[in-house]
Structure 1
Amino acid sequence: MKGLCGDWTKDDCAVIFLTKLARGTNWESPNDKNRRLKDKLNKLNINILEVDICDGRNDNEIYEIFTKIYDSLDENDEIIFDITHGFRSIPMLALTVLNYAKVLKNIKIKGIYYGAFDAKDEEGITPVFNLSVYDEILEWSQAVNSFLKYGNSQHIKEIVDLMNRKHINDGDKSYIPVRDFVSSLNDFTNSIYTCRGKVTDEFINKSGSNRKPISVAYSNMKERLDDIVENDDKSIKPLVPLLEKIKDRTCEFSNSDNLKTGLAVVKWSIDNNLTQDEP
């Protein structure tokens, strides 16, 4: 906790969700000062908000917890969520409400942490796992699904822009191939939206231009995707099956014939409702 809140200001706050049992046993703990978490956090000199919650023993109580977590979030909050001491269903509930709040309150998840008390090493040190990557996979799944259904790559681009900055700031360059792929995917979809069907030397020779004809944009995108598939970085591997779905979805563009490309665009437009009815 100390490492995560070292740069907090008066505007930041630690929200502690407490059942009646947790409050008495681990928060206030009148009979055991070593378990008195409240005193330990107060020493960090940070703002603390206590929120009482029920045990979650039935559907109504679970929804009440959902509501209390959601109500504790403000617009544009950046969230670090610690699920270490949560009841078994709390992590799933937390992930649901946080993604719900992404849409309604534009929050950002900075980290999801779990202290594995039972996994102590020989020196008695408890490892703390950052589970944020699984929220990223969930976000990717939603974005790729949106592309597969509607042919729109904007959600994918937004995710990569955000995550690439995060990885670069952490000194991790593993996301660069993903960034390059999504950039080429965006070029590809833009080339369809603007009907750049005919391949000419003038377009091809414009190095660095994002005004690529469809077949060239597709080839670039597929090349970047193949680079990711062949990449052994473990942080990228979970994305590969999702990205291969994009490859399958766009395979009809894998030719250099203008007529076939045009027919593929027609089918793509119909499948993705990119058509206009006559008045």
Structure 2
Amino acid sequence: MKKLLTFLGNGEYDEGIYTYRGRKATKSRFVQTAIYELFCEKFTDKDQIIIFLTEEAESKNWKDSIGESGKNKGKKLEGMENAWKKINPKLLQQNQIRKVRIPSQQDEEHNWELFEIILNEIDEGDEIIFDITHSFRSFPIMALIILNYARILKNASLKNLLYGCWEMRDKGQPPTAPIIDMTEMISLLDWAYGVDSYKQTGNASVIKTLTNQEVASVFQTGQSSDDMRRTEANALRTLANCAHEFHQIMQTCRAPEIPQKLNNLRKALEQAKTMEIRGFRPFEKLFGKMEEKIEYLTDRPIMDDYWAAKWCHDNGLIQQGYTLLQEGIITAICRVMGMELDDVNKRKLVSAAISVWLSEKTTEEWEGTEDEKSFMKTVIAFLNPYKDLLKSYAGLTRYRNSINHAGRNRDNIPHQRFRPKLENYLKDFRTFFEKMDQLYQEKQEGASTR
């Protein structure tokens, strides 16, 4: 259902002509009738106009009255009821206009009462036009809160948030005043949520959705004829998509894809930063936050495996952080020793070699074939200088297994311990990654000089 929600105040309103984008409404004392004419063309006999009003406002402005002050003193003033009869008498006849009484007091208790009254007038899936012209005192702030709440709780949509700006009237007789559409202010709430979500989690899904909506509006409104505007829109859409994809690969532990997705994100960010961002001001504030999220990633593969695990910890992806950290240790060893990174059997043997080495089992206690034991001895010989740097490996394995097996492996670790322990393991293994990175870089430089 479509609904116009509006407020009737108790002021002695002057007659005027309200306008919007070159269109003029019928002369009236009431912005509400103008909004109906200019914004409610698609209303059917099932749609509603809901007028929130205090007892004083109804007494003073619903029926015709006599002016009490200024140039209106002694003059007959048309009430809102008759104004509606002039515009569309069927609205009253069909009970499409409803008056809803609200308290005139404004304190914490009555603000909650007002909140409930207005929210109760919004039903599931309603399409709302909200007029705040004559809402009193702090209500415009409350209106934003109510609208956002209704969108989430009742799946309502906001078509327009409107303000009849009588203060900007001209000196005509009767004066003409504009109606300002403030709907974009509601989208700032979405952007605020999207930015906060990205800051806290690195998740760009909300930003991606909002950007795609903004881009679509550029082309739908014909602004695509502006080549710069089109380029800007596409660049920001690419950036939002790249940020979203980067979070997805971290969320799903796609370590081999991290370098390419990171490179895509950096390129998209650099391109977007060169633009003026004329029509996407909320996005401009994101650039610094995006840079902060990826600034410590280095394009050095061993350290980037470490930083990927750190990124997951910092952004609340704890299970992924454990996985990437342990797999990063194995990958670092494989890189330095010149092994195929995706050889599953070799990776298992590297992990097993670390475990038996740290447990100080004798060779006879090792499991596997002679070839496998020989391979494990080679790994252990390589790692022997770094034993102290890997002493936490068994604990890391325990925590990773517990979280990956959903606590069903009889290792009853309280959930509160996983994040701080991951932070500890990141500190424990940083020096190991740095040592492996140094060896790998030396190996690469040596290969390049041969």
State the TM-score, normalized to the length of structure 1: 0.83
Runs ≥4 in structure 1, deviation > 6 angstroms?
Answer: none
Compute the displacement of 1:35 (Å): 4.3
Q: 1:223 to 1:125 in 2, by over 3 A?
A: farther
**Which residue, out of 160, 169, 183, partners 1:132?**
183
1:117-173 deviation line (CA, Å, top 9, x unaligned): 011235432122221222212210111111211222222233334444445433345
Contact 1:53 1:65 (8 Å CA) reproduced = yes
Quote the Cα distance in structure 2 between the aligned partners of 1:10 and 1:250: 55
SS for the counterpart of 2:128 is strand
Quote the Cα distance in structure 2 between the aligned partners of 1:149 and 1:190: 15
Quote the Cα distance in structure 1 between the aligned partners of 2:61 and 2:267: 54
Contact 1:191 1:214 (8 Å CA) reproduced = yes
Quote the Cα distance in structure 1 between the aligned partners of 2:171 and 2:209: 43
**Which residue, out of 190, 210, 216, partners 1:159?**
210
State the TM-score, normalized to the length of structure 2: 0.54
Give the aligned residue type for 2:238. Answer: D
**Which residue, out of 186, 193, 196, partners 2:251?**
193
Mapping of 1:204-215 within 5 angstroms? 213-215=257-259
Q: What residue in structure 1 maps to residue 80 of structure 2?
A: 37
Quote the Cα distance in structure 2 between the aligned partners of 1:110 and 1:91: 16
Give the aligned residue type for 1:158. Answer: T
**Number of equivalenced pairs:** 264
**Which residue, out of 279, 284, 288, partners 1:244?**
288
Compute the displacement of 1:92 (Å): 0.5
Q: What residue in structure 1 maps to residue 239 of structure 2?
A: 181
Q: What residue in structure 1 maps to residue 61 of structure 2?
A: 26
Quote the Cα distance in structure 1 between the aligned partners of 2:155 and 2:123: 9
Q: What residue in structure 2 maps to residue 270 of structure 1?
A: 313
Compute the displacement of 1:86 (Å): 1.0
- What RMSD over aligned residues (CA atoms) do the two structures have, in Å? 2.5
Quote the Cα distance in structure 2 between the aligned partners of 1:273 and 1:140: 21
Q: What residue in structure 2 maps to residue 258 of structure 1?
A: 301
Quote the Cα distance in structure 1 between the aligned partners of 2:176 and 2:277: 28
Q: Does 1:62 align with 2:111?
A: yes
Q: What residue in structure 2 maps to residue 7 of structure 1?
A: 42
Quote the Cα distance in structure 2 between the aligned partners of 1:185 and 1:51: 46
Q: What residue in structure 1 maps to residue 166 of structure 2?
A: 117
Give the aligned residue type for 2:306. Answer: L
Q: What residue in structure 2 maps to residue 17 of structure 1?
A: 52
Q: What residue in structure 2 maps to residue 142 of structure 1?
A: 193
> Could you list the runs of 5+ residues in structure 1 that have no partner in the other structure?
199-212
1:84-105 deviation line (CA, Å, top 9, x unaligned): 1111211001111111122211
Q: Does 1:90 align with 2:148?
A: no
Q: In percent, how many aligned pairs have the same letter?
A: 27
